[in-house]
């Protein structure tokens, strides 16, 4: 799980510049850089969805769910917020990475005021 977090945390200014036109955006979306991040955030989302909440798993996964929440979820949330914040600042973030990041936040159900404000800014920019 730490590898997934490290992949998502890594930056590359060449692939994070906002493209000039739709063709460049499509090319960035198809790049290995963003495909790797897409699969990393999707793995993060699916792991938490299936095994990350002690109240929503069977007995056999309860220990893993507790470990995940205590050990890993803080760092994972930090990285997802960093991705959302970079999008808010105007950097390029793949649509699929953005979608799965929002899904991760939704599944974590951490809609406190600060989180809600970040999500509102991101969602507002997506639809404008």
Instruction: Give residue-wise pLDDT tens across range 51-109.
Output: 877 777 888 888 888 888 788 888 888 899 899 888 888 889 999 999 999 888 887 76
Q: How confident is the model at residue 40 (pLDDT cuts 50, 70, 90)?
A: very high
Provide the pLDDT for residue 128. Answer: 58
110, pLDDT greater than 60:
no
Q: Residue ranges of the domains in the chain?
A: 2-127
The helix/strand/coil state of 67 is helix
Decide: 87 and 122 in contact? Cβ < 8 Å.
yes
pTM equals 0.77
How many helices (H) and strands (E) are present in the chain, helices listed first? 8, 0
How does DSSP classify residue 19?
P
């Amino acid at each position: 799980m730490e590898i997934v977090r490290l992949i998502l945390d890594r930056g590359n200014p060449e692939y994070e510049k906002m493209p000039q036109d739709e063709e460049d955006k499509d090319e960035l979306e198809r790049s290995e850089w963003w495909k790797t991040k897409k699969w990393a955030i999707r793995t993060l989302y699916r792991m938490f969805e299936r095994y990350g909440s002690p109240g929503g798993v069977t007995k056999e996964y309860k220990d893993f769910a507790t470990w995940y929440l205590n050990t890993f979820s803080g760092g994972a949330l930090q990285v997802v917020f960093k991705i959302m914040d970079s999008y808010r600042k105007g950097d390029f973030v793949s649509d699929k990475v953005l979608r799965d990041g929002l899904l991760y936040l939704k599944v974590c159900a951490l809609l406190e005021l600060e989180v809600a404000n970040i999500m509102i800014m991101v969602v507002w920019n997506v639809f404008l």
